[in-house]
Amino acid sequence: MDLLWKKEADGSYIDIFGRSTGNSNLFSKLFSGLQLAPAKNNTKSTEFRQNGNDQKAKERWYHAMRFYNESLSYAENGSPNVSLAYANRSLCFLKMEMYDKCITDINFAIKANYPKEKRFKLDERRAYCLERINNEVEILAPAFDFDANENYVGFSNVLDIKFNEKFGRHVVAKCDIAIGKTVLIEEAFGPAQLMDAGQCVVCNTCYKNTMNFIPCEKCPNTLFCNQTCIDNNKFHKFVCGEVPPPLTSSVMYDMTSVLFAIDIFQNVDSLIQFVESVINDKSKTKVVPSAIGDMKSKYRIFLQLNLLGNAMKRGISLARARNVYEKLMGYPTIKTMFSTKAKKRFFIHLCVLHVSIVLSNLFNTNTISGTYLLRSFFNHSCAPNVLFYHYENKCIGITSRLIRKGEQLFMIYNPTCWSTPLNKQPMARIEYEFQCDCEKCKSTNWPNSSKRIKSDPDIQYIESFMSEANGPIDDFSHHQNYLNIQQRCINVLNKYGNLPWTTELNMVSRNFELILSQACLFSPINFGNLRSRTENKE
Ligand SMILES: [Zn+2]
Ligand SMILES: [Zn+2]
Ligand SMILES: [Zn+2]
């Protein structure tokens, strides 16, 4: 990155692509050999429907729904595949006790000319739903356990950002925080939907899950909640209808992050002015931001994110950036914006910076890619006291140990660190280039757990639940499984979360994080739902 933001004699930035020795066409060459998904295609649509039927036979309703969504997105406009996808999906909604959505899909199926001779099936289904519509499963989004933070949108008001030389910018507790409290709900900055086949489970605009999705008329693999979500999507129009779809997830995300930034500013001049002021600010990572909330303050944090520098990544950054730059300059609106030499050269550097930031900080959930700015303020510990999972386009932080006023909150950066110190070279050391001195890394072996912990029924339940072959971890269609296992995890953390780290605490924390993130993918039920149910009982 030595060439980044270097200028020529005339004051414009150097042509970083022209000077790079790397193979500029690396990515186009890589992708030319890949079989890219075609546009609307009934053969593919039918294949996905059959996959859905296989899941239906196993009563895995959420999995079946994902395939029916995929089938719908590939179905040729006006073909019978459209009505079959809606009709099949309506059954999934029915089985998941979401009767209102089932009826909506039945109406969609009929409107799409569902065969008259089979319509009685849908009529029966509708009658069944109408009888039960008052007993619908209620889906609640995750919610804060405290008021929202006034300065940092996404934090609850029990968190604050501090700076010191040892830890840099980091997150501390403003008061004692109990276990199992939701303290962070942060939206991704510049998210993009993963475009790979089989991922068609969220709205391309609002990232909601488990909706009565409708397809884009031109693109496969792209669904929206409704016409409003189609109209409100600023970025899809750039790639809509391109055949074959130009993008893998990474290219899609690189592009969206650049478009997202352009969209913040009135014009290119104010974009340039803003970016230059941030990159020339040498004190940047030592200053605790006074507020993070509006798009400009968020973009400032984005531009300040750490770059993980190794030669390989630099090479990839340049190749990827060139690909993104050329792609974006192919769109007339973008080309007009960056028309002069100086602006083009700036745009080249901006693309390189964005791609480098993305490569170092991107977080992939199973449905979207994005960067989480507030999350980036958390330091790493292999024995974390806050766990993270994802819901729609949001990252949710939940406490897993008692945190005292003034103490720092730590997350685990890489799942391999759950096995520290068994794992002699934890990823924290290799990838993030620092020496971890958490309570796990400092001790050569963890304290021996007492008999009481080892024989705890909650711990035994969690161990056997997680070790079951093809266990319910990949399908929480049965809500009760999910609610049980979550409650058990919370019980264990409440009982032992304040003791020195043990094998059991490690196992439960690790699995709790896994369960939370899997559950949002494989079930419409989430943590907020558990809370509301327990509260109702009291
Ligand atoms: Zn939507
Ligand atoms: Zn489209
Ligand atoms: Zn450690």
Residue 432: the pLDDT is: 60
The closest ligand to the CA of 243 turns out to be 2
The closest ligand to the CA of 214 turns out to be 1
- Choose the weakest-confidence range: 28-37, 229-238, 403-412, 487-496: 28-37
Percent of the residues in the chain that have a pLDDT greater than 70, as a whole number: 80
Residue 429: the pLDDT is: 54
User: Tell me: the pLDDT tens digits for 90-109?
Assistant: 999 998 888 999 999 999 99
The closest ligand to the CA of 235 turns out to be 2
Do 104 and 485 contact (CB within 8 A), yes or no?
A: no
**Among residues 206, 208, 200, 161, which one has the least CA distance to residue 184?**
161
Gap from CA of 461 to ligand 1 centroid (Å): 38
Residues having C-beta closer than 5 Å to ion ligand 1 = 203, 205-206, 208, 225, 229
Do 163 and 287 contact (CB within 8 A), yes or no?
A: yes
Alpha-carbon distance of 366 to 213, in angstroms, equals 18
User: Tell me: the pLDDT tens digits for 463-482?
Assistant: 888 876 445 445 555 566 77
Mean pLDDT over 162-185 rounds to 94
Q: Which residues make beta-bridge pairs with 391?
A: 394
Residue 538: the pLDDT is: 34
Residues having C-beta closer than 5 Å to ion ligand 3 = 382, 436, 438, 440-441
CATH architecture, domain 42-135: Alpha Horseshoe (1.25)
Gap from CA of 423 to ligand 3 centroid (Å): 10
Report the SS3 class of residue 203: coil
- Choose the weakest-confidence range: 120-129, 135-144, 246-255, 355-364: 246-255
Gap from CA of 338 to ligand 1 centroid (Å): 31
Q: Could you tell me the pTM of the whole model? A: 0.85
Say yes or no to pLDDT of 535 above 70. no
Say yes or no to pLDDT of 151 above 50. yes
Angle between helices 119-132 and 80-95 (to 10 degrees): 30
Gap from CA of 337 to ligand 3 centroid (Å): 47
> What is the fold of 159-187+373-537?
Beta-clip-like (2.170.270)
Gap from CA of 97 to ligand 3 centroid (Å): 43
**Confidence bin at 528 (pLDDT 50/70/90):** very low
Residues of 492-510 as b/e, b for ≥16 C-beta within 10 angstroms? bbebbbeeebbbbbbbbbb
Say yes or no to pLDDT of 44 above 50. yes
Report the SS3 class of residue 497: coil
Average pLDDT, the chain: 83
Per DSSP, 307 falls in state P
The closest ligand to the CA of 220 turns out to be 2
**Confidence bin at 196 (pLDDT 50/70/90):** low
Gap from CA of 203 to ligand 2 centroid (Å): 12
Q: What is the secondary structure of 328-384 as a DSSP string?
A: HHTSHHHHHHT-SHHHHHHHHHHHHHHHHHHHHH-EE-SSEEEE-TTGGGSEE-SS-
The closest ligand to the CA of 392 turns out to be 1
Q: Would you kindly state where each structural domain of the chain is located, as residue ranges?
A: 16-29+247-366, 42-135, 159-187+373-537
| Cis preceding linkage at 215, omega within 30 | no
User: Tell me: the pLDDT tens digits for 408-452?
Assistant: 999 998 888 888 665 555 555 555 666 778 888 877 666 677 788
Gap from CA of 440 to ligand 3 centroid (Å): 5
Alpha-carbon distance of 211 to 491, in angstroms, equals 32
Dihedral sign (CA 163, 358, 189, 416): negative
Residue 479: the pLDDT is: 61
